[in-house]
Amino acid sequence: MKISLESIKKLVEDAKKESKNLGDIINPILQNYTLEKKEILEVCQIGKFIYNLNCQISIIEKPSPPRPDFIIKYDSKLVGLEHTRIFSENAGNFNRVNSIIEYSEEVYKSMFPNDKVHAIISVEDDNIVYKQIEKKKIAVEIARYVNSVKNGLFIEKPFYIKNVKTTIHSKISFSYDEKKWQSDYLTKERLEKEINKKENKIFLYKKDEKEISEYWLVLFIGSLSSASYELNENEDYKLPSKFDRVYLVADFDSKIVRVN
């Protein structure tokens, strides 16, 4: 199939427009709050959700617990928005390995601060078993091995490493290459369990948040890892809830399902 130059130009312009509009939604929050990495991801996910919902919604606040995760303004009303990610049974294993890879990146920066490299790291059986007191030792081993691969040096490969690929990059960046990353489909029962767990917060919110008119819950699934779930197109996810609205979002392809 032949793709015209005009089609390519339109794709580029659409991408620029989306980036600008998404920036208009999330940048005021990112600039006004000092957020941890996990919270920045939450802001980006909610910003993308708002953009794809295609409604006139703005993020007003990013409060701290025990208040809702976000206060948004929609249709002249203040809405308390609760954000959550639904993780699979394999999440603990994935997060443990991903955590050591991310820590190895930080160790590499301290050991080789003037270097620039992107390392893609896979591990044996997608698993590294370690105690917390061993974490720094393993991170140092990984950092040294990555540096040896980048520079064509020979040192013994740590037994838990399957492969390392490196490329020249604008900064130091490590990525975990999970081999068995395929996700299970999200079941309606698993979704209902997560919604029920979050509904316990509504009573506390309503007791203290006098100006909020509605409460929404946005649940995220979908990533290229075993830690999450895939959306089942054949599943009816409709469920009653104490939340005024519940949305299920497939984060990877931005598909949004209104649950109630």
Q: Is residue 76 over pLDDT 50? A: yes
Q: Which of 213, 215, 208, 116 is CA-nearest to residue 170? A: 116
Give the pLDDT score at 260. 95
pLDDT band at residue 1, thresholds of 50, 70 and 90? Answer: very low
Give the pLDDT score at 3. 53
Give the pLDDT score at 19. 86
Q: What is the pLDDT of residues 40-49, one digit of tens each?
A: 999 999 999 9
Q: Is residue 126 over pLDDT 60? A: yes
Backbone φ and ψ for 86, nearest 5 degrees, come out as -95, 115
Which position has the higher pLDDT, 195 or 226? Answer: 195
**β-pair type (172-176, 117-123):** parallel
Q: What is the pLDDT of residues 206-238, one digit of tens each?
A: 888 889 999 999 999 987 788 889 999 999 999
SS3 call for 58: strand
Give the pLDDT score at 52. 92
For 248, how many CA atoms within 13 A lie in the half-sphere containing its CB? Answer: 25
Q: How far apart are CA 17 and CA 212, in angstroms?
A: 32
Give the pLDDT score at 217. 98
Is the backbone of residue 197 left (phi > 0), alpha (psi -120 to 50) or beta? alpha
12 token code pair: 């580029």
22 token code pair: 């998404």
Cα dihedral across residues 219, 225, 227, 233: positive or negative: positive
pLDDT band at residue 8, thresholds of 50, 70 and 90? Answer: low
Q: What is the pLDDT of residues 77-106, one digit of tens each?
A: 999 999 999 998 878 899 999 999 999 999
Say how many C-beta atoms besides its own lie within 10 A of residue 122's C-beta.
17
SS3 call for 228: coil
Q: Is residue 17 over pLDDT 80? A: no
Q: How far apart are CA 83 and CA 232, in angstroms?
A: 21
For residue 109, what are the contacts with CB-CB under 8 A and spacing of at least 6?
A: 172
What's the mean pLDDT when you consider all of the chain? 92
Q: What is the pLDDT of residues 239-258, one digit of tens each?
A: 999 999 999 999 878 899 99
Give the pLDDT score at 162. 97
Distance of CA 214 to the CA centre of its chain: 25
Give the pLDDT score at 11. 60
